[in-house]
Structure 1
Amino acid sequence: MNNKNRVWFDLLFYIVIPYLIWNQGKDIVGDYYAILLSTAPAFFYTIFTFVKERQFNVTGLFLVFTLLLRTIVDLLSGNAETMLMNQVYFMVVLGVFLIITIFVNKPLALYFFVDTAYLMGYKREDSRKLFHEKDIFPMFKWLTILFAARYIALAIVKFWLLQKYGVEGYGTMIVFRQGITWAFSLVIGIGTYIVFKKIQEKTGFGDAADASMDKK
């Protein structure tokens, strides 16, 4: 799936279909079940994407685990307003979890990079050793802060919209959520590029000339 197609599929499964399910379903099955059903397309799309791309690693496990956990929270919520508030709490918890990984010197962004390097043909142990070097390691902490900030920002905006519009504002939440996600994805992408260039300048990591290095 190329980047252009990915954007259209993201729009379809993260905004268009969920919004249609919510908008058309709330009067039929009620707010709670309409919101619950609207989360299904994104859930299955994300699972399919990671299975298709064979990302059975820290990155894939983190995203799949958070999806499953959020689904469990949604199912146990009981009503629409409680579900939305629980989602706010859930995102705050994820943000705090990411911050904790920084304080225990295991920033999650580093393991995301290890997974990427592995797909490029680099051994995990070699990548971990390289990424822990003192002039590179702090950059992964900053990247992890960006990931945490994304969850916190999503939680704040959802809470604000919920207080302002109530459950009826869920359609607006869908659009805002994806907009914030894309905005942070852009910033994180820039940060990732800076980190990659720093590593590449120091070690030649990722150069075509290294294609023959030890594989996986």
Structure 2
Amino acid sequence: MTEESTVKNMKPTLMLIVDFVLFFIFPLVFWELCREVVGDYPAMILSTLPGILYGLYRFNDTGKLNYTGICVFLNLTAGLLVDLLSGSALQLLWNNVFYSAALLFIYSVSVAARKPLYLYFALDLMAMRGYDRKLTKELFFEKKTYKLF
């Protein structure tokens, strides 16, 4: 019996829970517990590192990349760069407002180009749940279903 990677053997629900903890819960808990000790600015920067490291580990372990994984990784990396280049907590908050506006623009362009990003996120979720990716994509791009996106 050969040893297979841990991420490949994880059930989709467990992977979703781990993602939720590392990308959402941990940063919030770290922020609340450590900002008094290390300060606002370092706490904001340090809270993004586990998500980035886990994203790299998961990509390396599974060997495949999907739209959602690319977007999450790029979002975390860009967010970290915005944080690092800010210099202060107040400037960081303003830069995050500008970054959020840029993301809104990107999502709006994807909708205007008739390739909504959230359609691909839903496609990744359905593929992770075990549905055939090619068939699901065809169903999502049918006129009736596409209007929902």
- Per the TM superposition, whether the score is higher than 0.5 is yes
How many Å apart are 1:44 and its aligned residue? Answer: 3.8
Alignment pair present for 1:86 and 2:95:
yes
Q: 3-state DSSP class of the match of 2:68?
A: helix
CA offsets per residue over residues 62-114 of structure 1, 9 Å max, x none? 11111111111111112221111111111121122112211110011211222
Q: Is the 8 A contact 1:36 1:74 kept in 2?
A: yes
Q: Is the 8 A contact 1:18 1:41 kept in 2?
A: no
TM-score (structure 2 length as normaliser): 0.71
CA offsets per residue over residues 134-189 of structure 1, 9 Å max, x none? 1100111xxxxxxxxxxxxxxxxxxxxxxxxxxxxxxxxxxxxxxxxxxxxxxxxx
- Which structure ranks higher in relative contact order (CA pairs < 8 Å, sequence separation ≥ 6)? 1
Give the alignment partner of residue 24 of structure 1, picking from 15, 30, 37: 37
Q: Is the 8 A contact 2:45 2:84 kept in 1?
A: yes
Give the alignment partner of residue 122 of structure 1, picking from 105, 108, 132: 132
Q: Distance in 2 between matches of 1:89 and 1:70?
A: 11
User: Residue 28 of structure 2 aligns with which residue?
Assistant: 15
Give the alignment partner of residue 68 of structure 1, picking from 77, 80, 103: 77
Alignment pair present for 1:132 and 2:141:
yes
Aligned residues: 134
Change over 3 Å in CA distance of 1:41–1:118 after alignment to 2: closer
Q: How does 1:35-50 map to 2 (within 5 A)?
A: 35-45=44-54, 47=55, 50=58
Change over 3 Å in CA distance of 1:52–1:58 after alignment to 2: same
Q: What's the % identity of the aligned pairs? A: 28
Q: Distance in 1 between matches of 2:113 and 2:58?
A: 28
Unaligned runs of 5+ in 2: 1-12
> Which of the two has higher C-alpha Rg?
1
User: Residue 6 of structure 2 aligns with which residue?
Assistant: none
Question: RMSD between aligned alpha carbons?
Answer: 3.0
Q: Distance in 2 between matches of 1:66 and 1:99?
A: 16
User: Residue 150 of structure 1 aligns with which residue?
Assistant: none
User: Residue 5 of structure 2 aligns with which residue?
Assistant: none
